[in-house]
Structures are given as structure tokens and as C-alpha cells.
Amino acid sequence: MEKNVLTPNILRVSGTETNRLRIIRHPFFGFIIFGVGMILVQILQKFGVVNYSFAKALGQTAIYGIAALGFSFLLGYAGLSSLGTAGFAGLGAYLTGLILNTYAQVPYFVTLIAVLAVSILLGVSVGFISLRIEGIFLAIVTLGLSEVLGQVFLNAEFTGGPNGMRTGYIRLLPNLLNIRTNISILFYIVTAILVLLMMLTSNLISSPTGRAMLAMKNSTSAAQAMGISLLKYRLLAFILATAYAGIAGSLHMIYGQYTDPVQWTIMFSLNILAACLVGGAKSIWGILIGTLIIFGLTPLFFQDITLLRNNSWIMSVISGVLIILVVMFFKGGIIQLFKNLGVQIRIRNEKKKEYRFGKDE
């Protein structure tokens, strides 16, 4: 019998294609491609292909995306209300500025660890509060906490008061060159941290932790009956939310090298809430889309349009209309609209295939 010499090659090719498909379908693949795309924008800006203001605004929008990802643990998974994101992020920004201005030789990543520690302590405190109150009352408590922090930012002497706070040189790592105005390196740092947090978020929401939070969101009594600890997962949700917000505030401080109390008002908290609602609070990509719509459209695309530049209120109206439409018709956010369109396209393609080739028996 003649041996088929092509079989090993066919098997080898099939195995290669299988590995390639496995890589492409891995959830981290999309995050890595997203990060590469962000870096490509910065590289193109170096060659003059992309406008400097566009690249800088993109980095700032990515920072807001980090805060929105943290907020999704509360709104999208744990079902907890919070209006304190502005205070949590502002605390991270001011704490970063204080450390960098007081201890100039301290590397930034040491500062970031300190910010994370303070944010976690704050998250634990608010998490314990959430065990006693829920719903709108919890939102009011977190709003009150944010307002307390806002008054400290506005009136305390060590924060610079209404004049805000600036930072000087930033030392990234020990014995590494100081950086003051090199926005490119800071952009790469923001991109790397965002991609890492997207991966962490994906792991958490796909794990038993994410499923436990969803169960708690749907019914606290049913979750307790299944042995899910409300204390554990509410604390974890607030710890993650405050940690992400602290990181976002810290990155905001080194990226713009300036902060002031006006940036950390209730409007920031509401905009983060709007970004999650518009994009989809249970989808990483939806949250990034919502952040782009709420925070990024004006500085990225509409800044050169005179009408919108001189009338910033128009974008607020557009955002409000979007929130109304999404809440009324797409409670899962814009990402749900995309998914519905994908399903409709798939059904249409199957009908066309059935019409041309007949129905499979």
C-alpha cells in the first residue's frame, strides 16, 4: 500500500492553524492589539502624522478609562451605588503630588504603591459602610465623602487651595533619568497600566469572584443562601473601585503635572457613571467606548469645530440624550447594540446560505 506522505504536513498545518486561532480568540489578544494601537498613535505623532494634542488627549482619556473600569465593579457587578469616584481619584492625584514634591528622590512607582495602599484603606472603610446602607443612601454617603475630600483639596494649604498643585521632575525608577516634559514616555506608561488593568479586570469578572458579585447584585438574600459572603465581596468591590480611581488620579497628576479642585467635583463622578451606562457597565470594551464618548469626543475630534469649541454645553446635551436613549432602549449600553447587530447579521447570513444551498438535514 502506498504511504500518504502528505498526512504529516496536513496535520502540522492544521495544528499551526489551531494554535493561531487559539491565540486570536484569547481575550488578552484584543487587549494587546489595543495597546499596540495606542503606542502606534504615539509613534505616528513623533513623525508628525498624528497631531500632538490628539495624542495627549488620547492618553488623558485612557486615564479616565481606568477610573471607569474600577467603577464597573460597583455598578456593573456588585450592584452598589457610588458617587465618590471624584474624591477617590482626586486623593490619588494630590497624594502623588505631595510625595513627589516633598521627596523628590522617591521613584514614581514607589509613590504609586503608597497611593494604592491609601486607596485600599479608603475602600475598606467605605465597604464596611456599605454593609449598613444600600441604594441611594449609599450613593449619598459616598457623595458626602467625596465632598469632604473636595473641600480639603479646595481649602487646605498643603494642596495649594484653589490655585491647584504642580509637580516637578518625575523619577520613574531608582537611578533612572528624570522626566519633566517627555509626554511620550508617560503615554507609554499610561497605556501599559491600562492594558494590564484590562487583563486583571477580565480575569476577575470571568472568575468565581465576578460570578459571586453578579449573584449579590441580582439578590443579596439568594447570594447569602448560596454561601456568598456579602462582607467579602462588597469590601472587594469598593477596594477595586478606589484602587483603580487612585491609580487614575495618580497617572493624571504625572501626565498633566498639574491638578486643581475643579477637576474633582461631582461632575467627574457623574461623567464616570455616564461612561459606564452609555458603554455598558459589564463590558470592558463597552466601558472604554463609553469613556471615549463622554470624555474623549470633544478633545479628540470636536476641538477643531468652532461651534462645539465655543459652546461646550452642546456636548453635555449630547451626552444627556445618549444616556436617556441607552437607558430606555439598551440597558446593556452601546455594546449591547453592537452585539444585537452582530446577531442580526449572523441570522441574515444564515438565511442567505439556507436560501442558496438549502436547509441542512
Q: Is residue 280 part of a domain?
A: yes
Instruction: Please tell me the total count of domains within the chain.
Output: 1
Which single residue is written with the C-alpha cell 513627589?
100
CA dist., res. 272 & res. 85, Å (int): 8
Q: Which of 29, 73, 28, 32 is nearest to 282 (CA)?
A: 73
What confidence score (pLDDT) does residue 133 get? Answer: 84
Q: What is the CATH number of the domain that holds 114?
A: 1.10.3470
Q: Which of 313, 275, 261, 251 is nearest to 119 (CA)?
A: 251
The predicted-structure confidence for 80-128, as pLDDT tens digits, reads as follows 989 999 999 999 999 999 998 888 778 888 999 999 999 999 999 988 8
Query: Measured in Å, how far apart are the chain's first and last C-alpha atoms?
Result: 36
Instruction: Quickly state the pLDDT bin for 155 (edges 50, 70, 90).
Output: very high
103: left (phi over 0), alpha (psi -120 to 50) or beta: beta
What confidence score (pLDDT) does residue 351 get? Answer: 78
The mean of the pLDDT values for the chain is 86
Question: DSSP class of residue 134?
Answer: -
Instruction: Quickly state the pLDDT bin for 167 (edges 50, 70, 90).
Output: confident
Distances in Å between the Cα of 64 and the Cα atoms of 123, 135, 246, 348 are 19, 24, 11, 38
Q: Which of 120, 115, 155, 149 is nearest to 264 (CA)?
A: 149
Instruction: Quickly state the pLDDT bin for 1 (edges 50, 70, 90).
Output: very low
What confidence score (pLDDT) does residue 43 get? Answer: 92
Asked whether residue 319 carries a pLDDT value surpassing 50, the answer given is yes
Q: Which amino acid is at 43?
A: I
Nine cell digits for residue 320: 444627556
What confidence score (pLDDT) does residue 304 get? Answer: 73
Q: What angle do CA 337, 341, 342 make, to 5 degrees?
A: 115
Q: Is residue 6 part of a domain?
A: no
Q: Is residue 346 part of a domain?
A: no
Q: Is residue 318 part of a domain?
A: no
What confidence score (pLDDT) does residue 178 get? Answer: 57
CA dist., res. 291 & res. 279, Å (int): 7
For strand 165-166 and strand 258-259, is the pairing parallel, antiparallel, or unpaired?
Answer: antiparallel
Average pLDDT over residues 298-326: 78
Asked whether residue 46 carries a pLDDT value surpassing 80, the answer given is yes
Q: Is residue 334 part of a domain?
A: no
Treating both helix axes as pointing N-terminal to C-terminal, what angle do 334-357 and 266-279 enclose, rounded to 10 degrees? 10
Whether 222 contacts 215, CB under 8 Å: yes
Asked whether residue 150 carries a pLDDT value surpassing 90, the answer given is yes
CA dist., res. 342 & res. 337, Å (int): 9
Beta bridge partners of 170: 179
Asked whether residue 292 carries a pLDDT value surpassing 80, the answer given is yes
Q: Is residue 41 part of a domain?
A: yes
What confidence score (pLDDT) does residue 7 get? Answer: 52
CA dist., res. 203 & res. 314, Å (int): 38
Instruction: Quickly state the pLDDT bin for 359 (edges 50, 70, 90).
Output: low
Q: Is residue 282 part of a domain?
A: yes
High-pLDDT (> 90) share of the chain, %:
46
Residue 177's domain spans which residues?
28-302
Average pLDDT over residues 4-8: 50
Whether 272 contacts 85, CB under 8 Å: yes
Beta bridge partners of 258: 166
Instruction: Quickly state the pLDDT bin for 9 (edges 50, 70, 90).
Output: low
Asked whether residue 8 carries a pLDDT value surpassing 90, the answer given is no
The predicted-structure confidence for 48-71, as pLDDT tens digits, reads as follows 898 888 999 999 999 999 999 999
Average pLDDT over residues 281-285: 91
Picking from 12-21, 96-105, 156-165, 245-254, which range would have the lowest pLDDT averaged per residue?
12-21
Q: Is residue 47 part of a domain?
A: yes
HEC profile of 227-293? CCCHHHHHHHHHHHHHHHHHHHHHHHHHHHCEECHHHHCHHHHHHHHHHHHHHCCCCHHHHHHHHHH
